[in-house]
Amino acid sequence: MKPKNKLLSFSTTIRNPERYAEFLLAIEKFSGLPYDNHLLLEIEKELISLGIYRPLKRERWVEEKWNKKERLDQLTVKKIMVDNPQKFGWEWRAETHLAPLKELAFIKIKSGKFLITKLGLALLADDLNINDFYTKILLKVQFGNPFRKTVDNKSNPLLLTLSIIKSVNLTWKEIGKKPVGISRTEFQYFVLPMVDNNYKTIAERIISCRKKFGFQPTENVLQSFVYQRLSAKREIKNLKGTTRDYADNVIRHFRFTGLISFRGGVRFIDISDGFIEVVEGILKKFKLKWQEFSNEEDYVNFLLSDIEIEWKEEKRDKKRMLLNFINLNKVTLNDAKDELLYLIKKEKDNSSAKIGKTFLKGLNNEQIKSWWIRKTSPPLKLEFLLAVLFFLKFDDIKISPNLLMDDEGMPYHHAPAGKSDIEIIYNNNYALLIEATLLMHKAGQLNNETSALIRRGLDYQNKTKLITCSMLIAPRIHFDTILFFKSLLHDTFRSLKCGAFPISIERFIENFINSDENIKVMIESKFSEFKSAEIDKLSKIVN
């Protein structure tokens, strides 16, 4: 098939880049094995067994096991594969799942063997600076590379986008307007058809369109530019929907760099305030230059090569970001509380529905509501909602959520490993560390949310010299998890000014958010109650 100019997209198989690590973790055990059809089938079986890939035809109890993070046995997996035949075979399906991981150099095939690369291993370790990690990858990614044999584009997506935004902002300011970045509509129709690196032409077209039509050009005007740019006939099925989906996917990836932030409640994307100097340095150091690679291995080696970026980042004020989000969307304490209760109800009921109650009141902007409902993962929502609740409830605390947010407070990545989800300092010499999870079953909580929480609490206290207490928050605390924390009171923490206890979300709202006591009294009271309670009373106290 002759290569064509196409619209930029990353993976439509793994739509959320947050899931790359999930896929890698599932297939890590296959690294080093011969890459053949047998391996592809084994990989696909593993993805189905873990519920990472969920074919449509399956029984309800299967869905329930997946939601509990329980793996399926091989007989069940085999039945699901028989009930869901693939047009080109399950080996082909596995290839589609691996394709985005290959193209970002998280995995590679070398000498006939399947390998996790150093980038893939770094992502699995999760002990990294997400912004630095994705910036270094995406600065090198090319649209038009050996993995895209049907693509004739020759562009550098991230560098091109940053150049376009900068150029548009400068011109917009010169004519007396306030720079706002570029609208999502402009990104969809003017940026995605990036056949080359000519950012000036695209920026000029955006400005010209704004002068004629404001920010609301007709669909015909927009689509005409796309077809003209791609040198294509009007043959793209549902162009409006396609560009919207592709734009969402690309923006998700770009936001992981931290260089791009939403503006105007998801209506615009712009260079992040805290990274303006970083972007200036990047645009000076890395030139817009597309390179041709003769094969996939050469391109992967290029992506794996090291580059240095000077991160002269301004101090990111998480408290200000939360305030921006709260003010923009008119969020109240009760709104956030109701949304959190709705979230855990869905988790407890094993509901996979994405549409429901939303606490966003910005009715003049449906885009931000859509992004929250459909494109923010439940675990990320949980971390964010807890941060909002603490921020709105307590005036006398210093709160530091470790999840990543853009300038308007929209979250885009969970707290990295090695850090608590939320760090709170109160009464000058006390600290509360929050660990939040949607896991409710025994294995998930004990394996993922116990020893790590204790280690972080001890490390934080040793580092800061603050009297530290850690709190695990989940929709429901498993009894074995309760016993784990109870046993610590007679061992690890007995000689330390350090504590830890678990609490369900409903109990947290009842004992903390609905209480009028100050935070120090609340924490000491709950910890004391948990510490002194008899075993048979613990479940009632915690859940």
Do the Cβ atoms of 182 and 207 come closer than 8 Å? no
pLDDT exceeds 60 at position 356: no
* Highest mean pLDDT of the ranges 156-165, 313-322, 367-376: 156-165
Angle between helices 118-125 and 296-304 (to 10 degrees): 50
Q: Which residues contact 316 (CB under 8 A, 6 or more apart)?
A: 274
The mean pLDDT value of the chain amounts to 89
Q: Which residues pair with 9 in a beta bridge?
A: none
Q: Is 176 left (phi over 0), alpha (psi -120 to 50) or beta?
A: left
Whole-number pLDDT of residue 347:
76
Do the Cβ atoms of 493 and 531 come closer than 8 Å? no
Is the Cα torsion angle 506, 510, 511, 517 positive or negative in sign? Answer: positive
- Write out the two tokens for 159: 């560098």
Average pLDDT over residues 269-280: 92
- Reference 224, options 236, 212, 214; nearest CA is 236
With 0-12 CB in 10 A as exposed, 13-18 as middle and 19+ as buried, what is 61? exposed
Whole-number pLDDT of residue 497:
62
Q: How many CA atoms lie within 13 A of 47 on its CB side?
A: 28
With 0-12 CB in 10 A as exposed, 13-18 as middle and 19+ as buried, what is 311? middle
Q: How confident is the model at residue 380 (pLDDT cuts 50, 70, 90)?
A: very high
Do the Cβ atoms of 252 and 12 come closer than 8 Å? no
Dump pLDDT digits (tens) for 438-496. 988 887 788 777 888 888 888 899 999 999 999 999 999 999 999 888 887 665 555 55
Average pLDDT over residues 145-166: 95
Average pLDDT over residues 518-526: 91
- Write out the two tokens for 321: 């970001």
pLDDT exceeds 70 at position 224: yes
Whole-number pLDDT of residue 363:
47
- Reference 27, options 49, 10, 58, 54; nearest CA is 49
Do the Cβ atoms of 112 and 35 come closer than 8 Å? yes
Query: Which CATH code for domain 157-304?
Result: 1.10.10
Do the Cβ atoms of 165 and 269 come closer than 8 Å? yes
Q: How confident is the model at residue 388 (pLDDT cuts 50, 70, 90)?
A: very high
Q: How confident is the model at residue 128 (pLDDT cuts 50, 70, 90)?
A: confident
Q: Print burial letters for 198-213: b (CB count within 10 Å at least 16), e (below 16).
A: ebeebbebbbebbeee
What percent of the chain stands above pLDDT 90? 59
Whole-number pLDDT of residue 386:
96
First to last CA, the chain: 60
Dump pLDDT digits (tens) for 129-153. 888 999 999 999 999 999 998 899 9
Q: Which residues pair with 433 in a beta bridge?
A: 423, 470
pLDDT exceeds 70 at position 234: no
Average pLDDT over residues 172-184: 95
Average pLDDT over residues 146-164: 95
Is the Cα torsion angle 465, 466, 472, 478 positive or negative in sign? Answer: positive
pLDDT exceeds 90 at position 68: no
pLDDT exceeds 80 at position 122: yes
Whole-number pLDDT of residue 369:
80
- Reference 28, options 42, 14, 10; nearest CA is 42
Q: Which residues contact 21 (CB under 8 A, 6 or more apart)?
A: 123, 124, 126
Q: Which residues contact 143 (CB under 8 A, 6 or more apart)?
A: 8, 151, 153, 154, 155, 156, 157, 194
Whole-number pLDDT of residue 163:
97
Dump pLDDT digits (tens) for 31-50. 999 999 999 999 999 999 99
Q: Which residues pair with 143 in a beta bridge?
A: 155
Torsion of CA 436, 440, 442, 445, to 10 degrees: -10
Q: How many CB atoms lie within 10 A of CB 484?
A: 21
**pTM (two decimals):** 0.88
Do the Cβ atoms of 429 and 467 come closer than 8 Å? yes
- Write out the two tokens for 163: 């150049």
pLDDT exceeds 60 at position 166: yes
Whole-number pLDDT of residue 231:
82
- Reference 412, options 243, 275, 258; nearest CA is 258
Whole-number pLDDT of residue 183:
95
pLDDT exceeds 80 at position 261: yes
- Write out the two tokens for 134: 């994705």
pLDDT exceeds 50 at position 355: no
With 0-12 CB in 10 A as exposed, 13-18 as middle and 19+ as buried, what is 433? buried
Do the Cβ atoms of 230 and 151 come closer than 8 Å? no
Q: How confident is the model at residue 69 (pLDDT cuts 50, 70, 90)?
A: confident
pLDDT exceeds 80 at position 316: no
Q: What is the DSSP letter of 178?
A: P
Average pLDDT over residues 257-279: 91
Distance CA 59, CA 67 (A): 13
Do the Cβ atoms of 469 and 523 come closer than 8 Å? yes
Distance CA 491, CA 484 (A): 11
Domain ranges of the chain: 17-128, 157-304, 318-542
Is the Cα torsion angle 299, 304, 307, 313 positive or negative in sign? Answer: positive
Is the Cα torsion angle 122, 128, 134, 137 positive or negative in sign? Answer: negative
What SS3 class is residue 67? helix
Better-predicted residue by pLDDT, 416 or 59? 59
Spatial strand order of the sheet with 397-401 comes to 397-401, 422-426, 430-436, 467-474, 498-504
- Write out the two tokens for 169: 């902002």
Do the Cβ atoms of 541 and 529 come closer than 8 Å? yes
Whole-number pLDDT of residue 463:
92
Instruction: Indicate the fold that domain 318-542 takes in CATH.
Output: Restriction Endonuclease (3.40.91)
Whole-number pLDDT of residue 470:
92
Q: How confident is the model at residue 353 (pLDDT cuts 50, 70, 90)?
A: very low
What SS3 class is residue 132? helix
Antiparallel, parallel or unpaired: β 498-504 and 467-474: parallel
